[in-house]
Structure 1
Amino acid sequence: MRNATLRQLKIFEAVARHLSFSRAATELHLTQPAVSTQIRTLEAHAGATLFEQLGKKTYLTQAGAELLPYCRAIIAQFEQADTAMAQHRGIAGGRLDVAVISAGDYFFPQLMMAFARRHPGVKLNLTVHNREELLEQLSDNRTDLAVMVRPPLHDTQNDAFAPHPYVIVAAPQHPLAAPGREPIGLRELVRHPFVVRERGSDTWHSMEDAFGTRLDELQVAMEIKSTETIKQAVIAGIGLGFLSAHTIGREVAAGSLVVVPAERFPLMLNWYVVHRREKRLPPVAHAFRQFLLEDGAEWIGRLIPTAGT
């Protein structure tokens, strides 16, 4: 094992965590053959097979299971060393690791660039996830900061920094999109088909807040994991959509989507910046957190005009 590299150990840990070469490749931004090559090289260093394939499933061998905790300990030591050295580099030489839920990818790169312009030399790393993946990023200590709507209730520091409105949208030809309509009640809304995000997503939980007990009456025409695909389905007339107002600015401006006037809407929630409570944030992450708390709401308001205005 003395010739094994940190890169090989990180690839092994990702494959072991997912029990999937393809998912590990996606996470690490590598091709699947590149992951397989690195695992074979590590196995040669170890003198043992680390994974076995039974049918379509990947499993750790006994040797792989024994290596995994040592591998994670080594990776953790390197990360701790990097964090310690970051204290000496300060903000300018630091790397900012941020993970956001999917609605954030419509504006967050610009927000990070606004921060980077204040602090030249900062290296930026942004990843976009659904809620479940984002919680894994936090629990596995693979990101310094997470930005989301519904933070965990335990073991994290959660700070609201900007409002996050949700609205009902429709294609312009939809009967509820007629101009000059009075706000529509939930009883009438649930009579119409909806295109929705998957259950368990932040958007689905926000729908639970908005519709309450009437959510069970909702007619789900399609359940889709992609906000972009939901918008296209709504534009095509498949149903109404329940979306973050931060994701629809272009379509509303172009006239391809209309915000439906509805009682209790927009549903006003908040963006939160989240980190593990016991984590010692590197200077760059601490500075970015302060940037969000002090200026995040103003920047988001500047980048994303209120839908329908």
Structure 2
Amino acid sequence: MDYTLHQLKVFLKVVEVQSVTKASEELFLTQPAVSIQLKKFQDQFSVPLTEVIGRKLYITDFGKEIAKAAEKILAEIELINYKTMTYQNQLAGRLRISVASTGKYVMPYFLAGFMREHRGVDLIMDVTNKTLVVKSLEQNLVDFSLVSIIPEQLDINNLQLLQNKLYLIGSTDLKHRKDKSKIKIFEEYPLIYREPGSATRNAMEEFIKGKNLPTYKKIELTSNEAVKQAVIAGLGYSIMPLIGIKNELKNGEIEIIPFQGLPIVTHWNLVWLKPKNLSPVAQAFIKYIKQEKVNITLKQFDWYEKY
């Protein structure tokens, strides 16, 4: 056997996505390069690792067993690298964070300085909806989660980072008349919602129910970016977090419609399980956030705080 670590990584990625094309995209390699490495790896075994049926790639049972072994080998190599950096007095390890969808506009700014300072730290950040974020925290799959609504069912610590402000927004092309009752918006235009499980959707539904507002029609989309583009196109109105529409406001594509009871204000919180034994990397990150939170907010979110 004379396989390389690179071949192991390529094979694992092919197993993960079950596609040479997708693997090449995620590894930032050409498709022929992935195919060559996969063939070289396969040539070292007399039993097939993969098979193609109806133009679709499948992993054989033997291939799945080899993938498990490859994963263990690469994990040990990673551990060696981390231990080497630790002996060189460098902070090293993984930082795992799950982030509610809109949090992708917030969390990177609180990570950038820390990651630059500690080059031995690897970051894994999963961006999804609130329900899955809480689930990943509950199952101890991550070190931290970023949420706008603290999950009351969990025993957690929290560190408040930034306000989360939600406004009624619409396309400037719709040219809502300032002298026209704003209730007409809800009577005459579709409302664009996030999918069930989204904190933004929950906040929007609670606001509409609390105000007993009429609803003409509902459009449901599965990401904030999709909602934003639908609003810009004039499909309807929505209640969205301010943090995600900075450029669209600046470019005049979207306008905020003043409405009684808005904005809805919550806070972005970094949360973690109280019983969790935090790694040195996680402990260092908490220390960094506490020290730099004010500076980061002033430097990166000055525009936001003025609204």
Q: TM-score, normalised by structure 2?
A: 0.71
State the SS of the aligned residue for 1:45: coil
Separation (CA, whole Å) in 1 of partners of 2:47 and 2:187: 58
Aligned residue identity for 2:217: Q
Separation (CA, whole Å) in 1 of partners of 2:256 and 2:36: 50
Separation (CA, whole Å) in 1 of partners of 2:26 and 2:174: 40
Aligned counterpart, 2:34: 35
Aligned counterpart, 2:262: 265
The 5 Å alignment of 1:120-139 reads 129-131=127-129
Aligned residue identity for 2:270: V
Separation (CA, whole Å) in 1 of partners of 2:81 and 2:213: 47
Q: 1:81-126: per-residue Cα shift (whole Å, max 9, x none)?
A: 4444444444567786766455344454444344467x37577757
* Aligned with 1:239 (options 223, 226, 236): 236
Residue 251 in 1 paired to residue 248 in 2?
A: yes
Q: Is the 8 A contact 2:165 2:265 kept in 1?
A: yes
**Greater C-alpha radius of gyration:** 2
Q: 1:131-161: per-residue Cα shift (whole Å, max 9, x none)?
A: 49978998796x7655454688899966343
State the 1:43 CA deviation.
1.4
Separation (CA, whole Å) in 1 of partners of 2:256 and 2:165: 12
Q: Is the 8 A contact 1:51 1:59 kept in 2?
A: yes
Q: Is the 8 A contact 2:82 2:93 kept in 1?
A: no
Aligned counterpart, 2:166: 166
State the 1:298 CA deviation.
5.7
Separation (CA, whole Å) in 2 of partners of 1:60 and 1:37: 17
Residue 306 in 1 paired to residue 301 in 2?
A: no
Note closer, same or farther for the CA distance 1:23–1:296 as it changes in structure 2 (3 Å cut). farther
The 5 Å alignment of 1:76-95 reads 76-90=75-89
Aligned counterpart, 1:58: 57
State the SS of the aligned residue for 1:13: helix
Separation (CA, whole Å) in 1 of partners of 2:195 and 2:73: 37
Aligned residue identity for 2:288: F
Note closer, same or farther for the CA distance 1:173–1:60 as it changes in structure 2 (3 Å cut). closer
Aligned residue identity for 1:13: L
Q: Is the 8 A contact 1:197 1:203 kept in 2?
A: yes
Q: Is the 8 A contact 1:160 1:270 kept in 2?
A: no
Q: 1:155-183: per-residue Cα shift (whole Å, max 9, x none)?
A: 9966343232222211235465738x88x
Residue segments in structure 2 that go unaligned for 5+ positions in a row: none
Note closer, same or farther for the CA distance 1:158–1:140 as it changes in structure 2 (3 Å cut). closer
Q: Is the 8 A contact 2:166 2:241 kept in 1?
A: yes
State the 1:19 CA deviation.
2.8
Residue 67 in 1 paired to residue 61 in 2?
A: no
The 5 Å alignment of 1:82-121 reads 82-90=81-89, 100-115=99-114, 119=117
RMSD of Structure 2 on Structure 1 (CA): 4.5
State the 1:61 CA deviation.
0.5
Separation (CA, whole Å) in 1 of partners of 2:13 and 2:156: 26
State the 1:239 CA deviation.
1.1
State the 1:50 CA deviation.
1.4
Aligned residue identity for 1:286: Q
Aligned counterpart, 1:220: 218
Separation (CA, whole Å) in 2 of partners of 1:99 and 1:91: 25
Q: TM-score, normalised by structure 1?
A: 0.71
Q: Is the 8 A contact 1:249 1:307 kept in 2?
A: no
Separation (CA, whole Å) in 1 of partners of 2:36 and 2:154: 38
Note closer, same or farther for the CA distance 1:29–1:241 as it changes in structure 2 (3 Å cut). farther
Aligned residue identity for 2:235: I
Separation (CA, whole Å) in 2 of partners of 1:178 and 1:60: 61
* Of 287-296 and 232-241, the range deviating more from structure 2: 287-296
Q: State the identity %.
A: 24
Note closer, same or farther for the CA distance 1:209–1:10 as it changes in structure 2 (3 Å cut). farther
Q: 1:216-244: per-residue Cα shift (whole Å, max 9, x none)?
A: 957234636461x5434323322113322
Residue segments in structure 1 that go unaligned for 5+ positions in a row: none
Q: Is the 8 A contact 1:93 1:123 kept in 2?
A: yes
Q: Is the 8 A contact 2:24 2:34 kept in 1?
A: yes
State the SS of the aligned residue for 1:46: coil
